[in-house]
Amino acid sequence: MTITNLGSGTDLPPASGKRVLLIGASRGLGLALAQEWAQDGRQITATVRGSGRTQLHDLADTHAGGIEIDTVDITEPEQVTALHTRLAGRMFDLLFVNAGVANQPEGTVAETSTDEFNRVMVTNALSPLRVIEALQDLVEPTGTIGVMSSGQGSVANNVRGGHEVYRGSKAALNTFMRSYAARHDGEHRTLVLMAPGWVRTDLGGSGAPLGIDDSIPNVVKTLDSLQGRPGLHYVDYLGRTVAW
Ligand SMILES: NC(=O)c1ccc[n+]([C@@H]2O[C@H](COP(=O)([O-])OP(=O)(O)OC[C@H]3O[C@@H](n4cnc5c(N)ncnc54)[C@H](OP(=O)(O)O)[C@@H]3O)[C@@H](O)[C@H]2O)c1
């Protein structure tokens, strides 16, 4: 398995392509990713949950033809299969799974109810891999598959505890992506676990040090810089390798 660091070479890799499939873009970081890519002239298919109007619909109205909206709840396998069926025959340069949830940061894992543990783990760890497995054939052989991880998924950097279930879910996500990468060793796709920084969103809270504009333009730049570099990269929004 190739697990590479983001190089600092002088060769400028191409941008991560024009056709983007973005999962979980109703608000927060996903919405900002859609906005950034739309402003960049990329063709975006972005998903929301359910049939209600979201901020993504407002954004799509201001980018006529640039943003197509589809629906999927990533925890519902039949919805993932249905999305794949609707998109059959299409090809994307980048699949990015952003959808994720947090739970209350206080309390140990042992104090967490089984339902809450299941909700966070199923959403953040199991479901992204189900989405990737189901939709991977829509991604160009030299394209990119990325998923929103977190710096809190780092086992090595967990020296203070806290946010135990969320941390565990992102660490599990990272491990599942390593298994995926190992199974796809020798292929040409770029695989990315992205740590966007601690950002002010509904999930990140108002006390986070970064605004969306500090994170997301850099996330996009980092994804572009990794295009053409096969193997699995666990990096933050500034392209810095995160310790596993
Ligand atoms: N903000 C941070 O500081 C931070 C730091 C590290 C990592 N992250 C990660 O970044 C990602 C986005 O976080 P955010 O801060 O933008 O959170 P957010 O504002 O709460 O947005 C979460 C997004 O995920 C979607 N989502 C949740 N569960 C879903 C499901 N089962 N199926 C489909 N979509 C679902 C939500 O859709 P609905 O509107 O339908 O709920 C929403 O679009 C998450 O994976 C999070 O773990 C965030």
Domain containing residue 232: CATH number: 3.40.50.720
Residue 148 Cβ inside 6 Å of ligand 1? The answer reads yes
Residue 206 Cβ inside 6 Å of ligand 1? The answer reads no
Residue 4 pLDDT greater than 50, yes or no: no
Q: Would you state the pLDDT for residue 17? A: 66
Considering only CA atoms, which residue is closest to atom 8 of ligand 1?
A: 150
Angle CA 177–33–68, to nearest 5: 100
From the CA of 212, how far away is ligand 1's center (Å)?
Answer: 13
Q: Specify the 3-state DSSP secondary structure of 224.
A: helix
Distance CA 177, CA 200 (A): 26
Token digits for 63? Answer: 């980018």
Look-up of token digits 């979980």? 24
Give the number of the atom of ligand 1 that is nearest the alpha carbon of residue 32: 16
Residue 82 Cβ inside 6 Å of ligand 1? The answer reads no
Residue 167 pLDDT greater than 70, yes or no: yes
Q: Would you state the pLDDT for residue 189? A: 97
Closest by CA to 128, choosing from 72, 69, 89, is 72
Residue 200 Cβ inside 6 Å of ligand 1? The answer reads no
Give the number of the atom of ligand 1 that is nearest the alpha carbon of residue 199: 3
Assess if residue 96 is contained within a domain.
yes
**pLDDT tens string 139-158:** 999 999 999 999 999 999 99
The total number of structural domains in the chain stands at: 1
Assess if residue 11 is contained within a domain.
no
Q: Would you state the pLDDT for residue 12? A: 37
Assess if residue 4 is contained within a domain.
no
From the CA of 148, how far away is ligand 1's center (Å)?
Answer: 9
Residue 99 Cβ inside 6 Å of ligand 1? The answer reads yes
Mean pLDDT score, 131-140: 98
Assess if residue 29 is contained within a domain.
yes
Q: How far is CA 230 from CA 76, 144, 186, 241, in A?
A: 30, 9, 8, 15
Assess if residue 192 is contained within a domain.
yes
Assess if residue 92 is contained within a domain.
yes
Look-up of token digits 């999930």? 203
DSSP 4-43: -PPP--SS-PPPS-SEEEEE--SSHHHHHHHHHHHHTT-E
Q: Would you state the pLDDT for residue 106? A: 86
Model confidence pTM above 0.75: yes
Assess if residue 8 is contained within a domain.
no
Given a contact cutoff of 8 angstroms between Cβ atoms, the answer to whether 56 and 67 are in contact is yes
From the CA of 11, how far away is ligand 1's center (Å)?
Answer: 34
> 36: which residues sit within 8 A by CB, 6+ positions away?
216, 217, 220
Given a contact cutoff of 8 angstroms between Cβ atoms, the answer to whether 18 and 91 are in contact is no
Say which amino acid occupies 65: G
Distance CA 123, CA 101 (A): 7
**pLDDT tens string 98-128:** 999 999 888 899 999 999 999 999 999 999 9
The range of the structural domain enclosing residue 159 comes to: 19-236
Residue 234 pLDDT greater than 80, yes or no: yes
From the CA of 201, how far away is ligand 1's center (Å)?
Answer: 9
Considering only CA atoms, which residue is closest to atom 6 of ligand 1?
A: 150
Residue 8 pLDDT greater than 50, yes or no: no
Assess if residue 1 is contained within a domain.
no
Residue 223 pLDDT greater than 50, yes or no: yes
What whole-number percentage of the chain has pLDDT above 90?
A: 90
